[in-house]
């Protein structure tokens, strides 16, 4: 019986422990004391261990997606936004709400300057497509929410983030039926200044010339996004809440109140709503960081002004060609705030 238990234990153990145990039995080091991956046998061990670990992550990810689809068939809630339109601000406020409401944190984000991420102990934000749901980081895939509430409760309040249909973004894990959409948008001229400012921060960019192709492509993607949601909202008026970037940043409390109301989050606690806005405001966030900020959420005003001077002529031309003034005005008419 003891031999059987040892055999079962051996078979269930990982490759590393198997090799170490066998080494003790046969008195030969099957698991090297020092690895050199230029040696073929060492590389084989590396590949086996890597595949073994990746299988664990694969299993966690696939199980998370299966559960997500199982419990999120009805009343789906989506946050939709092109880049540079306030989605990080909204996602952070929703994560603060989640932390405070369920008592799993104080709602104050922690900033990682290396990864440019605002971190929370819990968040309702999930990806709406398969590609972005596959995160090769074991710690980010472990779901500990069952310590505080059921999976059914979690997915009932989950928010699926997407940029659909901007730049071929997808919603391929869920369908549009029984769904609500918070749609963020921004005045095209201001949006393109923000995008171009980010673009020039990249390495290997020729800053002496204006990248007219980049401006044209970006604005065409934005137009496709605006056209789609204007058309969709005409057929599904009650399913879409449009939020203008200017209102989101100048009347943040009112905007976040309307967002919570739209997705059926409890809005009776005004202090909770106000704190979520406060903790993720620009002033509070920059005070929290206490270090040189290298992220993309808050652009440098001086850099923006330089870009504005540099590309305004080309930008105004493209905006006129695409008839953006009418499109933007059509979007403003749909804003309820």
Q: Lowest-pLDDT range, 2-11, 115-124, 320-329?
A: 2-11
Q: Which domains does the chain have, with CATH numbers?
A: 14-38+47-71 (no CATH), 75-333 (3.40.50.300)
Radius of gyration of the chain (CA): 25
Q: Lowest-pLDDT range, 4-13, 53-62, 164-173, 312-321?
A: 4-13
Cα–Cα distance between 72 and 99 in angstroms, integer?
Answer: 21
Q: What does each C-alpha distance from 213 to 217, 219, 285 come to in angstroms?
A: 6, 10, 35
Cα–Cα distance between 314 and 208 in angstroms, integer?
Answer: 15
Strand (E) or helix (H) holding 42 = helix 40-71
Tell me: the pLDDT tens digits for 312-336? 999 999 999 999 999 999 999 999 8
Tell me: the pLDDT tens digits for 131-150? 999 987 755 555 556 667 78
Sign of the CA dihedral 10, 12, 13, 14? positive
Cα–Cα distance between 175 and 239 in angstroms, integer?
Answer: 13
In 69-109, which ranges are E strands?
A: 76-80
The DSSP result for 136-197, as a single string, is --HHHH---GGGTS-HHHHHHS-EEEE-TTGGG----SS-STTEEEEEEE--HHHHHHHHHH
Higher-pLDDT residue of 207 and 279 is 279
Cα–Cα distance between 87 and 239 in angstroms, integer?
Answer: 19
The two three-digit tokens of residue 260, written as one number? 């919570």
């Amino acid at each position: 019986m003891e031999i059987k238990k040892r055999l079962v234990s051996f078979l269930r153990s990982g490759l590393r422990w198997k090799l170490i145990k066998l080494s003790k039995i046969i008195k030969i080091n099957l698991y090297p004391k020092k690895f050199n991956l230029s040696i073929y046998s060492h590389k084989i061990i590396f590949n086996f261990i890597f595949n073994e670990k990746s299988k664990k992550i694969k299993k966690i990810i696939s199980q998370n997606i299966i559960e997500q689809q199982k419990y999120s068939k009805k009343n789906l809630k989506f946050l939709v936004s092109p880049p540079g339109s306030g989605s990080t601000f909204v996602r952070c406020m929703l994560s603060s709400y989640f932390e405070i409401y369920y008592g799993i944190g104080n709602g104050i984000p922690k900033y990682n300057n290396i990864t440019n991420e605002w971190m929370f102990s819990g968040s309702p934000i999930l990806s709406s497509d398969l590609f972005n749901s596959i995160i090769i980081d074991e710690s980010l895939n472990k779901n500990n929410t069952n310590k505080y509430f059921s999976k059914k409760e979690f997915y009932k309040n989950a928010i699926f983030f997407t940029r659909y249909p901007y730049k071929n973004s997808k919603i391929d894990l869920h369908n549009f039926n029984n769904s609500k959409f918070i749609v963020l948008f921004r005045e095209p001229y201001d949006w393109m200044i923000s995008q171009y400012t980010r673009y020039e921060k990249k390495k290997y960019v020729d800053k002496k010339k204006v990248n007219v192709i980049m401006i044209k492509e970006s604005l065409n993607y934005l137009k496709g996004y605006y056209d789609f949601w204007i058309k969709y909202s005409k057929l599904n008026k009650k399913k879409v809440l449009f939020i203008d970037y200017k209102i989101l940043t100048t009347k943040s409390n009112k905007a976040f109140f309307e967002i919570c109301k739209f997705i059926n989050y409890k809005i009776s606690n005004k202090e909770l709503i106000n704190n979520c806005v406060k903790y993720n405001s620009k002033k509070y966030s920059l005070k929290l960081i206490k270090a040189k900020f290298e992220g993309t959420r808050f652009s440098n005003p001086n850099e923006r002004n330089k870009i504005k001077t540099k590309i305004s002529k080309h930008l105004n031309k493209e905006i006129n060609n695409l008839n953006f003034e009418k499109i933007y005005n059509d979007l403003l008419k749909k804003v309820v705030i």
